[in-house]
């Protein structure tokens, strides 16, 4: 209740989350003075904003969510980029798994995994990094990826796969998902010394099609990259 009269995003979360909505109703009963800010916020933002929850998993075990023998053949595409002031190149990888097999938790669902690789990107006088990835994804299918009995939105493969940097948050605004890296993925002081993110994954009912993704670097430069995401509104 104490947080209700805070920024617009927090107010919008009230409309996306039942627990918060109940909290809002309670605060309304207790005070009533927050009605105007809520109305203004709804007028300013037309889409629902939600925080997606992120869990860590290991490979190849994560494949068992979608495949009965846990052995999948992934479809990989990537788009190269170089950050301002850096040399060499990095890439955004889009990986999809075959549609989830009947009898698995992910039956009928499509897993999308992304990875940002700056291992071959280098800087001489300073190092740039990637702090954000966003793309239109549409509805998210939640699954219990880490086996703790509750549904999860995003999984990060922190064991058994490439990479060292995990997204620190994933926020859904309308159909768009913004992955943020509290610690950016950095280029290195020589080719081969840069960092890669872990693969981070999310599921959808829709098969893939080409989209434009956006990344933001540590200097707030924005770049448009080819990626694949669910064709959720064919």
CA gap 21, 190 in Å, rounded: 50
Candidates 79-87, 103-111, 151-159, 166-174 — which segment interacts with Ca ion by CB under 5 A? 151-159
Q: Say whether residue 142 binds Ca ion (CB under 5 A).
A: no
Q: Say whether residue 58 binds Ca ion (CB under 5 A).
A: no
Near Ca ion by CB under 5 A: residue from 148, 220, 233, 234: 148
Q: Say whether residue 144 binds Ca ion (CB under 5 A).
A: yes
Q: 9 Cβ partners below 8 Å, 6+ apart?
A: 49
Q: Give the DSSP H/E element, type plus range, for residue 12.
A: helix 8-16
Q: Say whether residue 56 binds Ca ion (CB under 5 A).
A: no
Q: Say whether residue 69 binds Ca ion (CB under 5 A).
A: no
CA gap 130, 166 in Å, rounded: 12
Candidates 71-79, 91-99, 142-150, 158-166 — which segment interacts with Ca ion by CB under 5 A? 142-150
Q: Say whether residue 128 binds Ca ion (CB under 5 A).
A: no
DSSP 197: B
Question: How many chain residues interact with Ca ion (CB under 5 A)?
Answer: 5
Q: Which residues of 154-170 are buried (b: 16+ CB within 10 A; e: fewer)?
A: bbbbbeebebebbbeeb
Q: Say whether residue 152 binds Ca ion (CB under 5 A).
A: yes
Residues of this chain that interact with Ca ion (CB under 5 A) are: 144, 146, 148, 150, 152
């Amino acid at each position: 209740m104490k947080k209700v009269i805070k920024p617009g995003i927090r107010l919008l979360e009230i409309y996306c989350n039942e627990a918060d909505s109940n909290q809002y109703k309670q605060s309304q009963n207790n005070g009533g003075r927050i009605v105007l800010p809520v109305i203004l916020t709804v007028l300013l933002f037309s889409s629902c904003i939600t925080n997606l929850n992120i869990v860590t998993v290991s490979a190849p075990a994560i494949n068992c969510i979608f495949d009965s023998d846990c052995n999948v053949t992934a479809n990989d595409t990537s788009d190269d980029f170089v950050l301002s002031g850096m040399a060499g190149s990095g890439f955004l990888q889009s990986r999809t798994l075959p549609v989830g097999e009947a009898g698995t938790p992910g039956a009928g669902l499509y897993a999308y995994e992304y990875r940002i690789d700056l291992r071959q990107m280098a800087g001489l006088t300073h190092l740039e990094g990637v702090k954000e990835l966003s793309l239109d994804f549409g509805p998210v299918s939640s699954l219990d990826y880490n086996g703790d009995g509750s549904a999860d939105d995003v999984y990060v493969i922190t064991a058994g796969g490439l990479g060292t940097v995990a997204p620190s948050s994933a926020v859904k605004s309308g159909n768009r998902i913004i992955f943020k890296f509290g610690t950016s993925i950095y280029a290195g002081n020589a080719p081969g010394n840069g960092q890669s993110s872990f693969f981070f994954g999310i599921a959808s009912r829709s098969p893939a099609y080409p989209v434009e993704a956006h990344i933001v670097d540590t200097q707030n430069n924005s770049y448009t990259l080819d990626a694949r995401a669910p064709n959720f509104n064919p």
